[in-house]
Amino acid sequence: MKEYYQRVSDKVLEDHLESKGAVLIEGPKWCGKTTSAKYIAKSIIEMDRPDMTEQYQQMARIKPSALLEGKTPHLVDEWQIAPGIWNAVRYEVDQRGEFGQFILTGSSVPPVLDESMHTGTGRIVRMKMRPMSLFESKDSTGEVSLEDMFRGCDIAASDNHNIDDIAYLICRGGWPLSINTSKKVALKQAFDYYDSVIKDDISRVDGIKRNPERTKRLMKSYARNVATQASLETIREDCIVNDTDTFDKETLYSYINALKKIFVIEDSAAWNPNLRSKTAVRTADTRYFVDPSIATAALGLGPQDLINDLNLMGLIFENLCVRDLRIYSDSLDGDVFHYRDKTGLECDAVIHLRNGKYGLIEVKLGGDKLINEGAENLLKLAGKIDSDKMMAPAFMMVLCGVAPFAYRRKDGVYVVPIACLKN
């Protein structure tokens, strides 16, 4: 039996089961939703089992409660094959009056809840899974935790990853199928995922046939603009190849919304703090994929290509860091934002917790000069925040690709290699 890699989201799922009757796990295909659910579930029904699918669908119409029998939490995998199960789960949760009854997992192409389907509010909670972080894939030692930095703890760790290692980890991505296998096989997974999105998934999400070539152009443009606040109009114009092209705004929005629904794109919203002076804060989203390997696949790049273009590598590395920060933040009841104002001052990531605490993070590939620039930016932003109206930052961190040590500078800014970090 293949080794199970513990996921940060395992604890998130357990917490949800303690407070809700059912949990729906959402996320991109191949990110490990079903595997994680099976690890926690006490009984399972697989709706896509070839020799039983038709019978399951008939039972879902006649007596759906029969499909919900079993030790709890009971996993219903590929539940959308028989959408009537949704209302059955909601009803059964009400009847039993207990938490932790069901886990629902399904295709990355989520079905639309029609008028006959209750929203599930108060009974079914949704949680998001993403491809694996470096800590989950055992590429990070986890010697430094976000939780400790929120507490203001001192840190100390060493890291021996070089630029080649980081380039490989970006292109490999966090797909479970790419872990613990040869580099050749590992690097193929992102390209296979990309091909599946453009040829099938983007059209299946809502039944609207979309042009694979347009999808390619859009994803390539998104990859070229990753980790920037490029406007949708900039991306649209980038996708137009000739004067007769009719890639209008409505078409662009349709394609982008479809990619968001299947969890390919995951932009970062702007953070709006209380500042001492009236500085206009830019509100445009920052463009990211759910995994950095989607960007390299869209551009047709491998690890050596990134090393040959360090500016581009730095932007896609930021996408890797944001992916990991999102995974770690979920377990701390936090969200990840970005900050940029009219003066050009920016902060690549702001982790804001539910209790009001927040941390400021700059992402740099490495090198003393860039680390110093990142620290200066963080201190400048911290100085702008009105601490009479909101808390001062719990921590400031320069998150690096290549750095020999994790430590705390004299000015209080943490310097942390991404391959030392965990939640």
Q: Please report the pLDDT score of residue 177 as a whole number.
A: 95
Q: Are strands 144-145 and 421-422 parallel, antiparallel or unpaired?
A: parallel
CB 349 within 8 A of CB 321: yes
* pLDDT at 62 > cutoff 90: no
For the chain, the average pLDDT equals: 93
User: What is the C-alpha to C-alpha distance for residues 240 and 217, in angstroms, rounded to an integer?
Assistant: 8
Find the largest Cα–Cα distance for the chain. Answer: 68
Confidence band, pLDDT 50/70/90 cuts, at residue 171:
very high
pLDDT digits (tens, 9 = 90+) for 279-294: 878 889 999 999 999 9
Q: Please report the pLDDT score of residue 368 as a whole number.
A: 93
Task: Look at 42-56, 107-121, 142-156, 409-423 and tell me which has the smallest mean pLDDT.
Answer: 107-121
Residue located via tokens 């200066």: 376
Q: Tell me which residue of 395, 353, 400, 401 sits closest to 378, measured CA to CA.
A: 395
Q: Please report the pLDDT score of residue 326 as a whole number.
A: 98
pLDDT digits (tens, 9 = 90+) for 327-369: 999 999 999 999 999 888 999 999 999 999 999 999 999 989 9
284 secondary structure, DSSP code? P
Describe the strand order of the beta sheet including 157-158 as a list of residue ranges.
157-158, 405-408, 414-417, 395-402, 358-366, 346-353, 334-340
Q: Please report the pLDDT score of residue 204 as a whole number.
A: 87
Mean pLDDT confidence for 53-68: 87
pLDDT digits (tens, 9 = 90+) for 182-199: 999 999 999 999 999 999
Confidence band, pLDDT 50/70/90 cuts, at residue 309:
very high
* pLDDT at 119 > cutoff 70: no
Confidence band, pLDDT 50/70/90 cuts, at residue 115:
low
Q: Please report the pLDDT score of residue 246 as a whole number.
A: 75
User: What is the C-alpha to C-alpha distance for residues 399 and 418, in angstroms, rounded to an integer?
Assistant: 6
User: What is the C-alpha to C-alpha distance for residues 165 and 183, in angstroms, rounded to an integer?
Assistant: 11
Task: Look at 51-65, 138-152, 315-329 and tell me which has the smallest mean pLDDT.
Answer: 51-65
Mean pLDDT confidence for 169-185: 96
pTM of the model: 0.94
Q: Please report the pLDDT score of residue 103 as a whole number.
A: 97
* pLDDT at 59 > cutoff 60: yes
Mean pLDDT confidence for 58-83: 90
Q: Which two tokens stand for residue 385?
A: 């925040």
Q: Please report the pLDDT score of residue 244 as a whole number.
A: 65
